[in-house]
Chain A
Amino acid sequence: MTTLTQPAASGALATAWQRIWRARRLVERNIMFYRHQWIIILSGVFEPIFYLLGIGLGLGAIIQEVTLTDGRVVAYAAFVAPALLATAAMNGAVFETIFNVFFKLNFAKIYDGVLATPMGITEIALGEMMWALMRAALYAVAMFVIMLFAGLILSPWGLLIVPAALLVAAAFAAAGLAGTSYLRTVNDFDVPMGLVVMPMFLFSGTFFPISIYPLPIQVFMQATPLYHAISLIRGLSTGSVGTAQLWDLAYLVVFFAVCMWIAMRQMERKLIK
């Protein structure tokens, strides 16, 4: 391919595409590592299922029905299952990008070796994001299949759950990459995990509609990415689709782009001196 003779704009596009395409090498690298340890990946499939059985059935026996924002009433299990799917996508993406990337970046110095090849920072960041996205997608798809067979998908909009979950996974993978590039020691993990991921999991409308909280807390919750991820997936699975879901989409796309930009900038700062 002769990028030199092309006009600048299409040349830049071709370069961008080349980098995205080359980023798959990092996905290959992670598959090479995990092919000896599939069990680690599989363990994440069961987490949302345990939550669904534990909380969905347990609390569902007491609560039974929940009123959605548009006034419709659904069974508690149908309310909580899409939130667990969104959370599973988040967890898969965040664990991969926070813990594993931190190790590769700071201890194993694996990226220094990778950077001596034609791979660049863009390829590394995109590659890790893509791999985390794939891992998270596996959890989302597993949960989708369970919801399908358990009759927890109430609308044909549910067909869009998997692509929506991919966007959710990409957004959280990018967020994890951006976050991990700021961590300095292993102890720093407590901050994102304990103060960001865990509270988001509990308060983003996962188990209860956020309308039960006082207004200031509601506003705060609506600012978090998991709230929008859950709102999007739940809208699709229950069929309560409206402009709110368009906002969720826009939020997640912008959030993804900003986090990816931060991640690349930070990785460049850490790796290129």
Chain B
Amino acid sequence: MYRIGIDVGGTNTDAVIMHGDKVLVGVKSPTTSDVMSGVVNSIKKALDDTQISADQISAVMIGTTHFTNAVVERRNMSETAAVRLCLPAAQCLPPMVDWPDDICEAVGGHYWMAAGGNEFDGREISKIDEDELTKIADEIAAKNIETIAICSVFSPVNDDMEKRAAAIMKKRLPNANFTLSSEIGRLGILERENAAIMNASLRNLSTHTVDAFRRALQSLKLTCPYFITQNDGTLMGSEFVQAYPVLTFASGPTNSMRGASFLTGEQNAIVADVGGTSTDVGALVKGFPRPASTSVDVGGVRTNFRMPDVFSIALGGGTIIEPTDPAKIGPKSVGYRIHEEGKLFGGNTLTSTDIAVGLGIADIGDAGPARELGEEKLKQIKAQIDDMITNAVERMRVSPDPIPVLAVGGGSILIPDQIGDLPVKRPENFAVANAVGAAIGQISGEVDRIYSLSEISRDQALSEARKEATDKAIAAGAKPDSIELLDQEDVPLAYLPGNATRIRLKVVGDLNG
């Protein structure tokens, strides 16, 4: 049986067909405004090239920027009711207080604050009040809002109040969908609540998108299950995506890093993904992207998602070069128009690819125009480009060990063969590493919680957390016997007595079936 991996990018929709560990074919076609026809085109091309029939495909894995783009462009977001269980605490900063005006308008800016919430140690700030929540539900119904985000103080420690509040409100809002913040984010109420509200506002779009993918696959007679990749490199089934669309945010860089790992067999490495306008550099730890430790903005809204830690520089295959001394490199790029505007293709703009071609590093287009600069000048510009790449790679390095740098993406000829003391590896199929990353997705489970070590030992707390994460992974479709610990971190909490410690832990397993 075969698997199909898809990556829907801003410019191209890539598709690969894989058999076991082998990549049989990798194709690209332009991304279309409706997304789906681009996906259909790419899959069709891949199936035609390999002569594989639809019934031989066991699963389709899709990586998409669809939901991130909806937020960035403030499109297709539903009016949402934000309900925070916190009173009397937390009322000085209401939900969405730190959102840009336009995105706040896109979701309607509706919020309510009600009694509830827990303390760090699990005590109640106040009890939830059924009458109050019923009244809020009636007000939400009166506004015809059917998308609700509930966020309770310290819900990552105890999610009971969020669940009870949803059940109470559901009685008055039987058709509404509820997003509970504890299912999405970690500690940091504003960031977690922001993520929950964005998630809620994307649920309708998600339902439509999942449905459209299903129909697109059906039109190709693909009846196998399909999955969407999330930002930690693992997969979500279609029902899960409908409930948690925000978990797809930033899945693009994750897929390319995971794909690079898979194609080279390297588990610990730096990945440099060179596109047309920029280079994303990230670090792989045990085959997964290292997550960012600070909060991440999505469309101007602060969140605390498990985003991969990616350092981007404005250097890609289409980056415009002014051969001054020193040369001015970027940040502007001709991007995908390089085939019309790049000097090597008969255009008028000197690009980074011209430099590479002029030095004979790559053999595409016409090296003539670049060579007019003279070899010394070309070498000097290339040295500047190498410095930018070296700086970015050094920044993401995770240890003094000489781990390899994996060069992927259409513009990766710009990466030198050696970066400082680090060797560079260039996999076959480097241009479709992201689609490969989608095709190899696994299933994960995660826990992030504060434990008081005055009552239980650290080992007990860790094993409790691990069991919970494992249960979550199995519920999401992982094969129980394939589950292993991916990442575990415990951070003692400063300024708190009683040995409070925050444990973050993640397990992954192979997809069932």
A binds B: no
Residues of B within 8 A of A (CB): none
